[in-house]
Amino acid sequence: MPESADFFLRVHELVKQIPFGKVTTYGHIAAALGARSSSRMVGWALNAVAHADRFDIPCHRVVNRLGELSGKMHFETPFVMRERLEAEGVTFKGDAVDLAVHLWIPDA
């Protein structure tokens, strides 16, 4: 199995652990997987999930470092990501998740 495929699987497994009502960032996932400079690759791993119609991996709970929904274009509509988060009780400050309330940092 290629190294990137293994990394993608590790990303998927970690994203499954994000608690309901919480979010984490691409960078926090990369750091927890020992690849601090690979946040863009985390995004690619999640993009692959969206195109495979995998609903068991809560990709909507991953935001950029500012709490913005940079992955929203990979959902059915640009509003689905925010709607799913709000349905879980996640609050926003403008267009960004209130990270002070909802940030979950995975164990390294």
Which residues belong to the active site?
Answer: 59
CA 32 – CA 80 distance, rounded (Å): 27
Are 16 and 58 in contact by the 8 Å Cβ rule? The answer is yes
Of 36, 24, 39, the residue nearest 99 (C-alpha): 24
